[in-house]
Amino acid sequence: MKLYPILSALSPHDVVEAPPREGLASQLEMIHRLVSTRVAVVDRIAVVAHDVQTGLLKTLVSSSHDDGRPLHHEVALADVPTLSAMARQRGTRVIHDIARDFQSSSHSTWLKLHHYQSSVTTPIYQGNELAGFLFYDAKQLHAFTDADVEELVEFTDLIAHLFLTQRRLARGIVSAIQVAVDMARSRDFETGQHLERIAYYSRIMARALAQSHGLSDEYIEYLELFSPLHDIGKVGIPDHILLKPGRLDAEEYEIMKRHVPMGESIIRRISQDLGLVGSLQEQVMRNIVATHHERGDGSGYPRGLTMDQIPLEGRIVAVADVYDALSNRRAYKDSWNDDAVCTELRAEAAKGLLDKTCVEALLAATDERASIKLRFADARVADDYA
């Protein structure tokens, strides 16, 4: 299947360099203003997502009357017995005295630090799958009456609907693209394990850089979700080049480089068809696809951007992609040991090719990297661990 003759490249101006625009977060803030007209005691509303694959609860979006938002918090659902019980029972929990009724945890400690004293919590389900939790928090004791809890039900339904719609849309984008890729290629040009590793390496870096770069949890979630689409344009590269068991010659390499504008065209068409133009999802997807092969000294492709011109998501996925490529076998090379990979990444950062802060953020997470490499090892490597 040859797509490259009909897919046009985007111009350099199509790389989105503006700060990410919030999606669900802005909707939640609008709903919070409406909630306040009906249940005035609500000082904070928060949505926490549940990752079925890892069992983690991850803060996603929140709206509060002050600036104190907990960001980038992760905890295993199994480590929070009260929420685990709620997930099983599918009921709403009302806490009238957080200091008295909550056991010590990072989340409850944050709530107490910011003077929240009452809470209403409801699990959110997509079919039979736990998608997350919705929290209403108040800064006074015994804030929520039975009438308040009833009043919040319709808002809970609305917020849950918006959250699940965003979740289905984002996952649908990934699933649809991957189906197209699987149909268009005779065999994998990237293993599923490679794509999983890229996603989790990217998340490690984004979380580490969140405070210094002002990243929202929603942005981090989309970065993790869409980073596996970085090379989606390879669907349009001829098999004799894409699947060549060795290094490409100069002419073949020039053809291979076309996968970036092809990928941008795919993302542009998807964004137009799904009404995502100008959204946070589109921005993250497009910047990942468009800039993960750029290098800080201007030697990358397709636009020859320098470091300050490359969006953060492109710099993050570039580091994840290089780290994974060196760490694993390829048709033209054996895998490198971790010390050699770390040395090479630092050398590339010193030359200004890769973002040093991204490199150090990934390399500092020694245990997390090792866990990801083991959990999502390619088949032959996994056999080595058996």
pLDDT tens-digit series, residues 270-294 = 888 777 888 888 999 999 999 999 9
| Chain region(s) in the chain for CATH 1.10.3210.10 | 173-385
Q: Say which residues have a Cβ less than 8 Å from residue 133's Cβ, sequence separation at least 6.
A: 47, 48, 50, 57, 83, 86, 121, 122, 123, 124
What CATH topology corresponds to 40-143? Beta-Lactamase (3.30.450)
C-alpha to C-alpha distances, 337 to 69, 121, 205, nearest whole angstrom: 40, 46, 21
Q: Say which residues have a Cβ less than 8 Å from residue 189's Cβ, sequence separation at least 6.
A: 231, 234, 242, 243
- Give the per-residue pLDDT at 18: 42
pTM: 0.74
What residue ranges of the chain have pLDDT lower than 70? Answer: 1-22, 67-71, 103-107, 176-192, 331-333, 379-386
- Give the per-residue pLDDT at 30: 92
Question: Distance between CA atoms of 311 and 72, rounded to whole angstroms?
Answer: 20
| Chain region(s) in the chain for CATH 3.30.450.40 | 40-143
- Give the per-residue pLDDT at 353: 98
- Give the per-residue pLDDT at 328: 86
Q: What amino acid positions are annotated as catalytic residues? A: 234
- Report the CATH superfamily, name and number, of domain 173-385: Hypothetical protein af1432 (1.10.3210.10)
Question: Distance between CA atoms of 31 and 50, rounded to whole angstroms?
Answer: 22
- Give the per-residue pLDDT at 13: 41
- Give the per-residue pLDDT at 384: 43
- Give the per-residue pLDDT at 108: 73
- Give the per-residue pLDDT at 67: 57
